[in-house]
Structure 1
Amino acid sequence: MCGFAGIFHLTTPKPVDPARVELMCDAIAHRGPDGFGIWTAPGIGLGHRRLSIIDLEGSPQPMASSDGRLMLVFNGEIYNYRELRAELAAQGAVFHTDGDSEVILAAYQRWGVEGVSRLSGMFAFALYDLEARSLLLVRDRLGVKPLFMAELSDGSMIFGSELKALIAHPLLRREIDPLAVEDYLAWGYVPDHRSLLKGVRKLPAGHMLLLQSGKPCPQPRQWWDVSFAERRKGSAADLGAELLHLMRDAVQSRMVADVPLGAFLSGGVDSSSVVALMAEASASRVKTCSIGFDVKAFDESAYARRIATQFGTDHSARTVSPDDYAGIDDLVAMFDEPFADASALPTWRVCQLARESVTVALSGDGADEALAGYRRHVFQHGEDRVRGLLPEGLRAGLFGTLGRYYPKADWAPRPLRAKTTLLSLAGSSEQAYASAIGVTGPDLRQALYSPAYMALRGDYRAERPFMEMMAKAPARSGLDRAQYADLKFWLPGDILTKVDRTSMAVGLEAREPLLDHRLIEFAASIPEGLRVRSGQGKWLMKDTMRRYLPEDILFRPKQGFVTPIAQWFRGPLAGTAQAIASSSALGRTGWFDADALGAIAQAHISGLSDHSRLLWQLVMLDKSLARLGLA
């Protein structure tokens, strides 16, 4: 786990200033405190910051291939590197290190770009071929590891593991992409098809980009995708056995490390399953860590303690106050782009706790997306069955009318909050799911924007790329399409970004065994009735893990990390909310109607409405703009 940055001249092989590469690497020094290296040649410069996990002393980067033709910088872990190493050695490859970086070079020497598909792991890397004068940029299947890039006015392409590495280059223009504001307000993050800054791109998950000196920059090529179009046959017991085998293998492959290793443990199904399988495979006590809150409604630490006791783990726990708003500015610095998932704060805190005793921590991330574990998946599954029974015209008229007149009752018991369901049934499956996963809907965004910003936005709507992705998904059903969009849009943009930035900020490597691509491909083929059953999402996984975990862990309502932002904006952050309308960096942009922003803040502070998620979005956007000097 590391960070890298580089410069490649697309037109002519001009010299690259090593000091400029060093400056870019210094901006991401937190990603690799254990080692630093720079290599330059005509037209190319590569820099690397290393967090040593495997082969602690023997795999410095940038790393040259055995014949000196290739040069690599790499961020991540290749979990099957030992198997690949043995296969390549049997075919004549000679290795000088014990790490996974050299295996990438040997795989490329043997198989070319097709060798990328042989890699199992989380990774982003840049590989330069001195003879061909070409640069290959690659990002892993699910987008666990990030990769930013931008073309500059001097004819170069710069790239790096975080946006701040690119910002360190003096020729990068700091100009906002106005459509990123629309995307951010809709989703709470800037998705991978866009960046906050004009001209900056993110290499999409499962894609590669081959740059050739003297040729224009091509479009990235997709090298991996997941299909929901096929269905596995077999009994629940047989498919559950296969799922368990894949989970065991994924966990065990991610327990390889030459440094202390442990796991996050929340007491939920996913992290508890990972810890159970780690304990099964480990000859020593598994190190686990969790945080609890001093407010009972937010605290899950008792469940974590139960699992730690059951599996005899070496457990560390810390109780923190949910009123941890003092860390907001640190979060802004970690993410560069505005990021409004408030669970980033407690995620950062548990990473800090883990780093006190381990350098690698396994998490349970990915199971909800792969196996339909969110409540919205259960709703999508049920609503699509209704959509299939009634023609679209009838649904739009019947449910649309009922939804418009049904009162919005956020305060009422969940069964009585029917307005959202009625409006969802009136529209398409894609519209409904975009609404379910979004943060600030199109009507509210429209009410907030100034005429000047609406002119900049034009006819673009943030939901459109998401809905198009769902519509074109290799899938059979609405649930399939929703999960596909989760894996391709939501997961890399929100969940994996959150974990990467908060873990790397403290020099911790986070590994996600439940995102093993073989497990993901299998999960996509599970019949819908084994994903969602009797109102339960992730049914097959829960049924399979009965042999390890108690019923109240498996079937209790999903909670996750909770941050009391509604209370913050009625208390210590009330002044911050009020300032959004006028005295903030955001207010100076002219993008928003100041009166509308003021009314939103006042309605929340007075308790008339709950606008906490929107206010959190606006505050994080404001602070991001101010930090980058963009407003």
Structure 2
Amino acid sequence: MCGLAGLFLPRQANVVEARLDAMVGALRHRGPDGQKTWVSDDRRYQAGFARLAIIDLETGDQPMVESSGSNARVLMGNGEIYNYVELRAREAGYRFRSEGDMEVVLPLARRMGPDFVDVLNGIYALALYESEPHRLTLVRDRLGAKPLYWAKTAGGGVLFASEIKALFASGLITPAIDEAAVSSYLAHGYVPAPDTLYKGVRKLAPGHRMIVSAEGAISIERYWQPAPDQKPLTHPVEARERLLELMRDAVRLQLRSDVPLGALLSGGLDSGMIVALAAETLDRPLHTYTVRFEGAAVDEAPLAAEVAARYGTTHTTFDLETADVGAQLPSLAWYADEPLFDATLLPNYLITKELAGSVKVALSGTGGDELFAGYPRYFPKPIEQAYVRTPQFLRQHLIEPAIRQVSPMTAWQLARVRNLGGNRGAYLFEHSTLFPPPMRTLIGNRALPPDSRQAAAFDDFVRVAPSTDLQTGGLAAEMTTALSEDLLALLDRTTMAAGVEGRVPLLDHRLVGAALSVPESVRTPGGHAKALQRDIAREFLPSAVINAPKQGFASPVAAWFGDELGSQALRILTRRETLARGWWTQGGIDALFTDVNRHGARIYALLMLELAIRIHVEDGSHDTAPTAGLAEFAEAA
């Protein structure tokens, strides 16, 4: 993986200089193997790149420049094109200057125009500049594994970069918070694309491309969306065989690397299958890594060790102590740019730092729950189903008002169940709400209420569900919301912070289409989560892994905030300047801390939001991650 940054100026705009070296410097952690810039003669295109060398270590430097007379085509790509070997073979008439994966985009784009993305299999963020007709094309991969941000400058130029901090480092835009985005974050635990936490900064959504013309006109279109294949997989045997075939091929392609490679192993089905299929393909032992948490109620390390022993991997278990949390959270807030409510950010980062000494590529099982329906919210509880059948008049005018007097949170939970009947997308949206209305009241939130943009993030449910089933619609919706904004963002930031490339074989787009073509009755017969995946995995994984309940890669946040770390977080969240924003009150924060077992995740989410604002807006730390820990931030509060 790498980091890219640049500035495109329309022909009529005044020429301005981006602090290109500073932009690239802000991305150095993404590309520690070398940095390079390219500027057009008229200075209307300024590009910089930080490289993490994975394939073609000698000649794969970027930006890649192809010149023909007065015309220059300049390519930068963050990520990997996994099927580059096959694509290069199809472009036999092109004179390649490297042995790498990214260069194949140049002949493809010349021959196919913007539709070249249709033949790519990979994770990527691309920037292609053509001096004639002076045009910039930005592309983000189908599921958003690689980030790409952009912003307009005062003079009409377009800044773009792999991370938001690089945009700020340009000196052409000023960091400021978008309060509507804060409301989105409180709703979801992330800010859905195309918005970000910061005013004027946009993220290119997954599966989208953006073209900026010579006159500065911007067009953005969606080139791919998660949808079932045309041929449904309605028979269990057919579904198992087809999905296993695609898993095998995805792993085969993603094992292509010129540097050492390993895998993150949690002890669950998803990462276990990746390790099993990789081990049967490789002719050498695979390096595998597991993290164990101090104070955690669940320990999957024994299951991971069982899988590792079965496949003869070189296995390492890393122990995370509570003391590491306070020392690392501020720097993680810097790496993440936008706050991520997911508390597995820290263990993922620490385990990646651990493996960085041995490997530069890490396979991850991310995406399995979205492919095979692994989350409880896909399976309404019997009491919820019974409540839907209760007459509407009784629900809305008697039951809910009475319960609201005793427990607003319970009343809200009952009210959202109404959506089960005809709008499962809204039900899933409400299930993912981090601070629902009763919680906003509790903390004294006066920020803007949730708006239509937040519900619109789940439009893929409305698009897919009518032609399939409610569960499949929910899976498709989450693939372009929580998957990209939380899980894939987390994987990108934590691996890139350690100079490691994270790969996600289960999110090969061919596998996604096939998995969505499986009906709910085959995917989860009898309402059993991941039943189809368990059947596929039986010949590969120990029975203890197959039969284990879903536990997830959870962090013991309640234990984190129960002692000194909690005191530090409380001081940071109740700083005078922080309370003055009106997003929460002293009493509201105190209420959360009275029950950290219940509200630990919410405390963590607010803390990461506050750290992002302190670091990126108030302190303006764009060049390097802060060295101060949480204790120092609390002292300065």
**What per-residue deviation string (whole Å, max 9, x for no partner) do you get for residues 188-234 of structure 1?**
2222231111110000000000101114323x100001224967144
Amino acid at match of 1:370: L
Q: Secondary structure at the match of 1:521?
A: helix
The DSSP-based 3-state class of the residue aligned with 2:481 is helix
Match of 1:627 in 2: 615
Distance 1:554 1:85 in 2: 40
Name the SS of the counterpart of 2:126 in structure 1.
strand
1:309 aligns with 2:283: no
- Structure 1: 5+ residue stretches without partners: 410-417
Distance 2:102 2:229 in 1: 35
Change (3 A) 1:431 1:571: same
Count of matched residue pairs = 610
Match of 2:133, SS state, is coil
CA contact (8 A) 1:176 1:630 kept: no
Aligned match of 1:273: 273
Pick which of 170-179 and 471-480 moved more.
471-480
* Inter-partner Cα distance in structure 1 for 2:120 and 2:316: 34
Equivalent position amino acid for 1:334 in 2? Y
- Structure 1 residues 420, 443: CA separation in 2 closer, same or farther (over 3 Å shift)? closer
Report which stretch shifted further, 101-110 or 589-598. 589-598
1:341-360 map, 5 Å? 341-360=342-361
Query: Could you tell me how far 1:295 is from its partner in structure 2?
Result: 4.1
Q: Which residue of 1 aligns with 2:199?
A: 198
- How far does residue 575 in structure 1 lie from its aligned partner after superposition? 2.0
Q: What does the per-residue CA deviation read over 1:235-276, in whole Å, with 9 as the maximum and x for residues that have no partner?
A: 211210001000000001000000001111111100000000
Equivalent in the alignment of 2:598? 610
Moved more, 585-594 or 544-553: 585-594
Could you tell me how far apart the structure 1 residues matched to 2:574 and 2:312 are? 55
Aligned to 1:515: 507
Cα gap change, 1:629 to 1:111, in 2 (>3 Å): closer
Give the Cα–Cα distance (whole angstroms) in 2 for the partners of residues 468 and 386 of structure 1: 27
1:619 is displaced (CA, Å) by 1.4
The 3 A distance-change label for structure 1 pair 474 and 132 is farther
Q: Which residue of structure 2 aligns with residue 105 of structure 1?
A: 106
Matched residue SS, 1:589: coil
Distance 1:225 1:95, change over 3 A: same
Q: CA contact under 8 A between 1:399 and 1:425: conserved in structure 2?
A: no
Helix, strand or coil for the counterpart of 2:54?
coil
CA distance in 1, matches of 2:406, 2:583: 32
Q: Name which of 455, 458, 482 aligns with 1:464.
A: 455
**1:412-431 map, 5 Å:** 422-427=414-419, 428-431=423-426
Return the letter of the residue paired with 2:37: I
The amino acid of 1:286's aligned partner reads L
Which residue number corresponds to residue 34 of structure 1? 33
Q: 3-state SS of the aligned residue for 1:172?
A: coil
Task: Mark the CA change 1:241 to 1:390 in structure 2 (over 3 Å): closer, same or farther.
Answer: farther
Structure 2 equivalent of residue 415 of structure 1: none
Partner residue in 2 for 1:432: 427
User: Take 2:313 and 2:22, find their aligned partners in 1: how far apart are those partners?
Assistant: 42
Could you say if the C-alpha distance between residues 463 and 112 of structure 1 is closer, same or farther in structure 2, counting changes exceeding 3 Å?
A: closer
Unaligned runs of 5+ in 2: 620-637
Deviation at 1:112, TM superposition (A): 0.9
Q: Give me the whole-angstrom Cα distance separating, in 2, the residues matched to 1:547 and 1:421.
A: 40
Once residues 29 and 459 of structure 1 are traced to their aligned partners in structure 2, the CA distance between those partners, rounded to angstroms, is: 36
Structure 1 position 577, deviation (Å): 4.1
**Which range moves more in the overlay, 427-436 or 53-62?**
427-436
Given that 1:31 and 1:51 are in contact with CA atoms closer than 8 Å, whether structure 2 keeps it comes out as: yes
Flag the 1:39–1:546 CA change in 2: closer, same or farther, 3 A: same
Which amino acid in the other structure matches residue 627 of structure 1? I
Structure 1's 421 and 621: CA in aligned 2 closer, same or farther, altered over 3 A? closer
Give the distance between the partners of 2:524 and 2:394, measured in 1 at CA.
27
Cα drift, residue 548 of structure 1: 0.8
Residue 82 (str. 1) matches residue 85 (str. 2): yes
Give the letter for the 1:303 counterpart. L
Q: CA deviation at 1:430?
A: 3.1
Q: Deviations over 1:161-186 (max 9, x none)?
A: 00010010212022211101101111
User: What's the counterpart of residue 93 of structure 1?
Assistant: 94
Q: 1:203 is aligned with what amino acid?
A: L
2:214 maps to a residue whose letter is: S
Identity %: 36
CA distance in 1, matches of 2:169, 2:459: 35
From the superposition, tell whether residues 97 and 361 of structure 1 become closer, same or farther in structure 2 (CA, over 3 Å). Answer: same
User: In the alignment, does 2:591 pair up with 1:599?
Assistant: yes
What is the distance in 1 between the residues matched to 2:275 and 2:217? 48
| Partner SS for 2:380 | helix
The answer as to whether partners of 1:121 and 1:516 remain within 8 angstroms in 2 is yes
CA distance in 2, matches of 1:510, 1:459: 33
Other-structure match for 1:559: 551
- Shift in Å at residue 438 of structure 1? 1.9
Q: Is the CA contact (8 Å cut-off) linking 1:77 and 1:100 kept in structure 2?
A: yes
Task: Name 1:2's counterpart in structure 2.
Answer: 2
Amino acid of the structure 1 residue aligned with 2:264: F
Change (3 A) 1:211 1:233: same
Greater shift, 521-530 or 564-573, is seen at 564-573
> In the alignment, is the contact (CA less than 8 A) between 1:190 and 1:339 conserved in 2?
no
1:211 corresponds to which letter in structure 2? V
Q: Does the 8 Å CA contact 2:57/2:258 hold for their aligned counterparts?
A: yes
Task: Read off the aligned partner of 2:10 and give its amino acid letter.
Answer: L
Whether 2:484 is the aligned partner of 1:484: answer no
Query: Residues 276 and 160 (structure 1 numbering): CA distance in 2 closer, same or farther, change over 3 Å?
Result: same
Please tell me whether the aligned partners of residues 566 and 612 of structure 1 are also in contact (alpha carbons under 8 angstroms). Answer: yes
**Residues 418-456 of structure 1: CA distance to partner in whole angstroms, max 9, x if unpaired?**
9887444333423321221221112322453455x4xxx
Q: What is the distance in 2 between the residues matched to 1:470 and 1:29?
A: 38
Equivalent pair of 1:231/1:526 in contact (CA under 8 Å): no
Question: Contact (CA 8 Å) 2:187, 2:433: kept in 1 or not?
Answer: yes
Equivalent of 2:74 in 71, 74, 84:
71
**1: distance between equivalents of 2:294 and 2:587?**
37
Judged with a 3 Å threshold, the aligned counterparts in structure 2 of structure 1 residues 233 and 363 are, in CA distance, closer, same or farther, namely closer
Q: What amino acid sits opposite 2:151 in the alignment? A: A
Counterpart residue type for residue 75 of structure 2: L
In the aligned structure 2, how far is the partner of 1:308 from the partner of 1:248? 19
When residues 227 and 596 of structure 1 are mapped into structure 2, their CA distance, relative to the original with a 3 A threshold, is same
Where 2:580 maps in the other structure, the secondary structure is helix
**2: CA distance, partners of 1:134 / 1:522:** 36
In structure 2, C-alpha distance between the alignment counterparts of 1:290 and 1:151, rounded to whole Å: 42
State the match for 2:542 in structure 1: 550
**1:497 aligned to 2:497?**
no
- Tell me which residue corresponds to 1:136: 137
Deviations 1:98-147 (A, max 9, x none): 11111011110111111111111000010001111000000000000000
Structure number with higher relative contact order (C-alpha < 8 Å, ≥ 6 residues apart): 2
Q: One-letter code of the match for 2:313?
A: T
